Amino acid sequence: MTWQPKDELASEVALEVLIHGPLGRAELARRLGLAPATLTRISAELISSGLLAEVPEATQRTSGRPTVPLDVIPSSHYFFGIKLTDSALDATVIDLKATPLESYRVALESTTPTHVVSAITKLTRRAQSSYRLDAVGIAVGGVVNAHGTVESAPFLKWHNVPLATLVTDSSHLPTFVANDLSAYTQIQHWFGAGTGHANFAVITVGVGVGYGCVANGARLENEDSGIGLIGHWPLDPLGPICSQGHRGCAEAMLTTPAICRDASAAVGRPLGWHDVITLATDKHPAVTTILAASGRALGRLVGMVASLTAPEVVIIGGEGVALASLSGNSLAAGIAEVRDPRASAIRITLSNGSNEAWCRGAAAIALQGYIATGSTR
Ligand SMILES: [Zn+2]
């Protein structure tokens, strides 16, 4: 099975059903501004080509003609999403509805491109023994160009590594590579809290601070997006110093290593992020104070992002997402400090901060690339 709708209109219909399905034909025609007869013709073509199927309606309509919604067939396609870091490959297989089916993790003994490509190829073969994969997506913390070349990745110490080409050649599967924040934003856009919103922003907190934006229904990106430009925004004039010497920037205030460092110093023993969460839940005074300052800084960042990019929703995610819920009223206080009181309330959604969420993002990049290129197997 390949994803090759006949023309652009058919692609639009298939994509709308993929993201928002199941959908009835009348609803589809309304969403896409198509005449019912046109939609009927296109949907018949998509059904006969096996891309879409009629599915039983979940709820019985009490009157009028019964409608038979259209949906994609989840098991018709599988995608493999890999999050590449300096220590491991985390990977997840998803189906066409982005449902995670199986996850994998392998440690990396080295980060040389040769070793990483070989490890990715081995892991892909392992997944292929259970799933007929259509494409591979790889998410990397760094600057990635449109051809899937990693131009720079500080954690891996890589410069100009043509990762997509190398993995395509060794795995014989279409491979797409993207910055990890782009991947995370893509999964939110099509299958997460951003679905149905033409404008939304993503802020992630973890080892770094990330920002993604969808404007008018498309990811807003340029060649500098992978640098992580939000990382050194000033958020607290009295905060600690970051690696670049800034006082109270996003890196110094919001990253989990920075918070763990400050909490360890305050408590007098080394603390990991989970220890910090436990102490904060137990209302440990020093840890609570540190998290309150970080939460306020996060609130300021959310407030600034909301003012600059007019999102309908701000999604906060990443492995440090607990900061948003643990810092009590500090998040709201931080927002209030930078937002005009006449402005409407910012809608905030907290998203999953797990490894699987990043891997699903990588797989969504594979899915998107596969659809865009009409890949054939
Ligand atoms: Zn800084």
CA of 156 to the centre of ligand 1 (A): 20
CATH of 196-350, one of 3.40.50.2300, 3.30.70.270, 3.30.420.40, 3.40.50.800: 3.30.420.40
pLDDT for res 63: 58
Domain boundaries defined on the chain: 8-72, 76-186+356-373, 196-350
Distance 181 CA to ligand 1 centre (A): 19
- Euclidean distance between CA atoms 165 and 149, whole angstroms: 8
How is residue 130 annotated by DSSP?
T
209 touches 230 (CB < 8 A): yes
Average pLDDT for residues 26-54, to the nearest whole number? 90
Amino acid at site 361: G
* CA 122 to centroid of ligand 1, rounded, Å: 38
User: For 76-186+356-373, CATH number?
Assistant: 3.30.420.40
Token digits of residue 317: 């995610």
How many whole angstroms separate alpha carbon 247 and alpha carbon 237? Answer: 6
Pairing of strands 209-215, 143-144: unpaired
Taking the centre of ligand 1 as the mean of its atom positions, its distance from the CA of residue 81, in whole angstroms, is: 31
Residue type, 11: S
Q: Evaluate if residue 207 carries a pLDDT over 60.
A: yes
**Residues whose Cβ atom is located within 5 A of ion ligand 1:** 232, 242, 244, 246, 249, 251
CATH: 3.20.20.10, 3.90.1560.10, 1.10.10.10, 3.30.420.40. Which one for 8-72? 1.10.10.10
At residue 122 the predicted structure's pLDDT band, cuts being 50, 70 and 90, is very high
Q: What percent of the chain has pLDDT over 90?
A: 81
CA of 243 to the centre of ligand 1 (A): 6
Give 280's contacts (C-beta < 8 A, 6+ positions apart): 287, 288, 291, 326
Any idea which of 39-43, 199-203, 266-270 has the lowest mean pLDDT?
Answer: 39-43
Measured distance CA(242)–CA(240) in Å, rounded: 7
CA of 233 to the centre of ligand 1 (A): 7
- Report the separation in Å between the CA atom of 273 and the middle of ligand 1, taken as the mean of its atom positions: 20
Q: What is the DSSP string of 321-336?
A: THHHHHTTTHHHHHHH
Distance 237 CA to ligand 1 centre (A): 12
Distance CA 110, CA 156 (A): 9
Query: Distance from the CA of 234 to the center of ligand 1, in angstroms?
Result: 7
Give tens-digit pLDDT for 130-174: 999 999 999 999 999 999 999 999 999 999 999 999 999 999 999
**Alpha-carbon gap, residue 71 to 47, rounded angstroms:** 10
Domains 8-72 and 196-350 share a fold: no
Please report which helix (H) or strand (E) contains residue 107, including its range.
strand 100-107
The string of DSSP codes covering 332-358 is: HHHHHHHS-TTSPPPPEEE---SHHHH
241 CA distance to ligand 1 middle (Å): 7
- At 225, phi and psi to the nearest 5? -55, -35
Collapsing DSSP to helix, strand or coil, 104 comes out as strand
Q: Which pLDDT score is estimated for 376? A: 45
**Residue of 99, 74, 128 whose CA lies nearest to 377:** 128
